[in-house]
Amino acid sequence: MAISRDAPVILPKDVLIGHPKAPVTLTEFGDYECESALHNNLVVREVLRLYPGTFNFNYRHFPQLRIHQRAHKAAEAAIAAAQVGKFPEMHDLLLHNRRNLGTASLAFYARELGIGGLHFLDALVTGRFGQYVQDDLAAGMRLGIKQAPAFFINGKKLEGRLSVKNICDQAKTLCRQLKFPTGYSK
């Protein structure tokens, strides 16, 4: 699979994991080098597993550039992978390899997913998707985010500790307020 230069870019805000018509969208503004990134992903995956028709997940890029110099390029690699339908797989690889996010490693991960090659490497080297990472950063700042990770449920900031229970409790409250069926009884 090659990344096309001519196709319109699939923006991070439009990439969902889980059922696209689920009534609850959990959004994370995250950084691939963040210490808690893998743990956060495990919590999100558990929510999606327990409530498959109720939740979907959207990952937005918020690299902490002062302390995580490779997070921006990793975010670009994730956006590049999304262009060929491989965002979830790349996302997982990046989280599991957060200490190895140099350009050579990112190109290796892309090859593992069958999306590597000159087009992918060219996109990384030229920063083709860098503006979309910057757009996510700007969107996060407009929401008042100062550091990653930050989570939102249908646009409302998740309060408290990240846990399956906290996510579900806040989502249930929001669904009741909006008169959405929750689809779960746990």
Q: Does domain 12-178 have CATH number 3.40.30.10?
A: yes
CA dist., res. 124 & res. 118, Å (int): 10
Instruction: Please report the pLDDT score of residue 184 as a whole number.
Output: 46
Q: Which of 179, 165, 163, 167 has the alpha carbon at shortest distance from 55?
A: 167
Instruction: Please report the pLDDT score of residue 65 as a whole number.
Output: 84
For the chain, which residues make up each domain, given as ranges? 12-178
Instruction: Please report the pLDDT score of residue 180 as a whole number.
Output: 59
Q: Which residues make Cβ contacts (< 8 Å) with residue 54, sequence separation at least 6?
A: 22, 23, 24, 171, 182, 183, 184
Instruction: Please report the pLDDT score of residue 110 as a whole number.
Output: 95
Q: What is the mean pLDDT of each run of 10 residues along the chain (186 residues)?
A: 76 96 94 93 93 92 93 97 96 96 94 88 92 97 94 91 88 72 49
Instruction: Please report the pLDDT score of residue 173 as a whole number.
Output: 80
